Structure 1
């Protein structure tokens, strides 16, 4: 196989693009994913509250391990909240970036 044939194979466009009306149940799937995102955000709020309480407890009782664990939990909870809140934007950004690849 010559290098030109390989280039032609690599340049082949299969013509596949996202089709919103392609399958039934898309609105149900969107609703389910939105609900999962909501449950995740609620769980993060609870985890943040517990982590901050552990951090304060460790600080005021002199438990350095508890204090460090509470700090870690607070940072992880904040990161999870950031990821859950930005999930749509992240996916849209990389999807748009991927559609520009030629």
Structure 2
């Protein structure tokens, strides 16, 4: 292991001294790089809408299951309904916050040096 590290260190030192290693690479996302970016944004927005609608549907169904379980003295069914309510709310939160989360982590990644 030590020999591999020595070889790697020597190789990097030689590459840096000879100018083979670039000091800065600057790549940023652009809106005009590929055709169809606007259509892709529209598709992603539509998928987010479908995800939110399905989260609401799951919340309604889970609340009904929870209610049936509670009123029929079936703790297994009631607990499944509770879990469904929590999962559907979490799915709605993640779907709604997805753009903000990606932007946040993109900005964090840009600060890594």
Instruction: Tell me the TM-score normalized by structure 2.
Output: 0.81
**Greater Rg by CA:** 2
**2:27, 2:104 → 1: CA distance?**
19
Per-residue Cα deviation, 1:56-85 (whole angstroms, up to 9, x for no partner): 110011011110000000000010011001
What is the root-mean-square deviation in Å for CA atoms of aligned residues?
2.0
Give the paired residue count: 102
Asked if 1:52 is matched to 2:63, the reply is yes
1:27 to 1:60, Cα distance in 2 relative to 1, 3 A: same
Runs of 4+ in 1 over 3 A off after TM superposition: 5-14
Instruction: Tell me the TM-score normalized by structure 1.
Output: 0.89
Asked if 1:67 is matched to 2:83, the reply is no
1:96 aligned residue:
107
1:1-102 superposed matches below 5 A: 1=7, 2=10, 3-5=12-14, 12-102=23-113
